[in-house]
Amino acid sequence: MPRQCEICGKSTLKANKVSFSHKHHTYRQKPNLQSLKITVKGSVKTIKACTSCIKANKVLRTV
């Protein structure tokens, strides 16, 4: 399963670390994903959602 938000589709990004001598080293920036339980059609389901979706109330947690 990919490291991807199931609500907005946010996934890993490719970026460069640049040293003082301007050498570029490629690395991945991973999204801040949290696993949480939601209710879908009466059943409880576990999904991975990014924190920006959780803060924007795009997902409602099951109590």
Task: Give 62's pLDDT tier (boundaries 50, 70, 90).
Answer: confident
CATH number of 1-63: 2.30.170.40
pLDDT per position as a tens digit, 6-58: 999 999 999 999 999 999 999 999 999 999 999 999 999 999 999 999 999 99
pTM for the model = 0.77
Task: Give 2's pLDDT tier (boundaries 50, 70, 90).
Answer: confident
C-alpha 5/C-alpha 27 separation (Å) is: 20
Number of CB atoms found within 10 A of residue 5's CB: 22
Q: Is the pLDDT of residue 1 over 70?
A: no
* The two three-digit tokens of residue 7, written as one number: 């609500």
**CA triple 17-3-49, angle to 5 deg:** 110
